[in-house]
Structure 1
């Protein structure tokens, strides 16, 4: 009986030990989550000043800087689209910029070349000034700056906490005693890895928008009634006008025909109205 009791006792002790480890880790993660939710004075982290360059505060002060996203929209009227496009390409080369998206529209009234340009943050102002000076006449210009330092700092702090907790769970997985404990720990690890991927993706997106500003440039050329329209003679225009008039008349006639159910109601309404007037007079 003692031989049977001792193995059972050992198993129970190991199970309770692993369960206590999971509970203690859960308590740790709750503390980390509370730290994530707690308000953080991010200005102290950004503007931190210390005399000891080896201190953690100094390291954070060096790595954290202002995160400013610059965006702009410009509409420029030009004489020739192709010539203006060549000038734009020269400006892009000088400022190490590139075209992310290009769209061209050609209508009877005007021509439009819409460009989405990505340019290094430091060259953004020089690029805008180059387009304002030598390309054509600026019809509209809108420049905006968005400070995302607070969002970036908040995500960075939470990301660091999640990575620390992920390492704790991985250490626990190595010493898990039962299959149930292993599955629970693996599920928590998967959840943390997904959250870390999302946070890192957001940080990469912010870094990309900070390092490379975006400018939406629209080159506009208004067409003059000269080449094609002036060649059309009076006879052709007269025939086109007659055709358009006839088409309008047919459309109007078909519209009236489509209302025939309402026309059938008119005699009925007149009959009822006269009958009502007769009874009223009597």
Structure 2
């Protein structure tokens, strides 16, 4: 609710300098490697050369594969070089997705509204000094509180956009498939036994389904037997 004293509207766009283009670049890559530990050593070297760092790391290891999920942040000017380093000879690239998002319009819009809110805030503070009635004081204080909250949100949004623009994000997945063989596998007997039971059951089910699929022929067997016996009895007579 606005107090009885009117706050004159001003256009703060003239007070905002020309904003350079704001481009957010992100990427996702999945790479199959032969040795996870060796790949990690290569990653450390690539990150250092491109002034990048690992924001998040997750490792998974099961009977069939090893996986490392990395969230990498890199200065935007080094993003392409980082992607090329992983694409060229690092491993077998299974998937790759690179995107660019122009957020200049949003950044400009938030900046203009933020400047406008700061102008209103100063005017409300001046009005508070000259307010006479308790009602006006409380109303102005409430508007000041709301504006301060909105300003905090807008400034947080601009900081978030600046961070995403200045540092690009690459989600990198390293994948290694384990070799499963009775001679070379390091997987335990229990896992191999379970696999054998599963394979045997699947074979039995496939065999059973194959027999069931022949049910029309089974229906003909009694007919064939009946006709054969009838023919044989006639021949004897």
Q: Shorter-chain TM-score: what band?
A: 0.7 to 0.9
Structure 1 partner of 2:112: 157
CA distance in 1, matches of 2:59, 2:113: 44
Structure 1 partner of 2:164: 209
| Runs (5+) with no aligned partner, structure 1 | 1-20, 37-44, 46-55, 246-282
Alignment partner of 1:96 is 2:51: yes
Runs of 4+ in 1 over 2 A off after TM superposition: 21-26, 226-233
CA distance in 1, matches of 2:26, 2:154: 23
Structure 2 partner of 1:126: 81
Q: Please give the root-mean-square deviation of Cα atoms over the aligned residues, in Å.
A: 2.9
CA distance in 2, matches of 1:198, 1:230: 53
Point out the structure with the larger helix share.
1
CA distance in 2, matches of 1:230, 1:120: 41
Q: Deviations over 1:224-267 (max 9, x none)?
A: 1133368859xx959x749x96xxxxxxxxxxxxxxxxxxxxxx
Taking structure 1 as the reference length, what is the TM-score of the superposition?
Answer: 0.63
CA distance in 2, matches of 1:196, 1:224: 57
Shift of 1:181: 1.6
Any idea what SS the aligned residue of 1:228 has?
A: coil
Structure 2 partner of 1:60: 17
Structure 2 partner of 1:107: 62
Structure 1 partner of 2:28: 73
| Runs (5+) with no aligned partner, structure 2 | 202-237
Matching residue within 178, 181, 185 for 1:228: 185
Higher normalized contact order (CA 8 Å, seq sep 6+, divided by chain length) = 2
Q: 1:193 to 1:89 in 2, by over 3 A?
A: same
Matched pairs, number: 196
Q: Deviations over 1:26-70 (max 9, x none)?
A: 5x2xx46xx69xxxxxxxx8xxxxxxxxxx68x722xx1000000
CA distance in 2, matches of 1:185, 1:94: 55
Taking structure 2 as the reference length, what is the TM-score of the superposition?
Answer: 0.75
Any idea what SS the aligned residue of 1:225 has?
A: coil
Any idea what SS the aligned residue of 1:66 has?
A: coil
